[in-house]
Amino acid sequence: MSERVVNNIKDLVRCSRCVMPETQEFIVFDAQGVCSTCRNIDIKHQMIDWSAKKKEFQDLLDRYRGKYEYDCIVPFSGGKDSTYQVYSLVRDYGVKPLVVSYDHHMFRPNTVRNREKTLKKLGVDFLSYRTDWRLVKKFMRIGLERKGNIYWYEETGIFAFPMHMAIKLNVPLVIWGEPSAEYTNYYSYDEPEEVDETRFNMFVNLGITAEDMIGFLRDDLGDMQTTMRDLKFHTYPSRERLKEIGCRSVCLGSYQPWDVKRHVDIIKRELGWQGDTVEGVAPGYDYEKIEDMLQGVQDYLKFIKRGYGRMSHLASIDIRNGR
């Protein structure tokens, strides 16, 4: 198998700039051989009026500030991006957030320490939820066998649970971190990117709905006990319920230029956030994907499927940002 994988890698078409291969999801190349993600970053650096975007974000916050129990909900894992987004919203914009976390059972000890430091130093209210571990193991097996991805449950939980809390607690503004346009081409930097049901079904849930998962559990594992009630927080809320509260779900990185390495410097200095060692990640990138204990496994599965690993992804980001 290893020899076959290597031979395929040799044959891959790659971006003439960042060398990302054609096997990345949704990637396309222009006449100069430059990939769509690099062109997205060109738009970010050359065509966006970030001063106007900041004003637009201030106006958005002002429409919600002080009108609800919390000004916004901020999804949070304790990794670099979510830590920076909580930091920026509290320190730079002065909002009162409810920090919400989908606890996927896989946090590394260092991430747990980072989370505690961040929450205490910023002085924010915090809400966390875990799915039944017995179900998680089944979800991981189905995801592995059906999609070569063990984290269906994690991705759906991360993106669905905060939206359910927005409805339940009547906090209609949800603010995420970086837009997907930073790393892929599902959206472009010059178009609005709402973190909504369309985005959820486009790539978050791997093309497997909660209803599909119920069917797979029955067909593959003979599980006749699990119902949709058990998968509530892995199912995106209805558009009607979100519309009732006037919900907006946006990325902070749509309103300020996202720069991971600059953000890491800030949270290390201001919050005492610490990096970690992750399988397959070079020492200079101690901030990358430090949350998950099985990240090395997930990255290896991606390498088998796509022909590139975590360091190719990180090197491409550095190239696009002139590093």
Q: Is 264 exposed, middle or buried (0-12, 13-18, 19+ CB in 10 A)?
A: buried
Contact 271, 121 (CB under 8 A): yes
pLDDT along the chain (323 residues), means of 10: 49 91 92 96 95 97 97 98 98 98 97 98 98 98 96 97 98 96 90 91 94 98 97 96 96 96 97 96 94 95 92 94 89
pLDDT value, residue 150: 96
pLDDT for position 8: 56
Which residues touch 241 (CB under 8 Å, ≥6 apart)? Answer: 167
- Return the H-helix or E-strand segment holding 113: helix 109-122
- The H or E element containing residue 74 is strand 72-75
pLDDT at 3: 43
Buried b (16+ CB within 10 A) or exposed e, 95-120: bbbbbbbbbbebbbebbebbbebbbe
Q: Please count the other Cβ atoms lying within 10 Å of the Cβ belonging to residue 128.
A: 12
Tell me, what's the pLDDT at 9?
A: 59
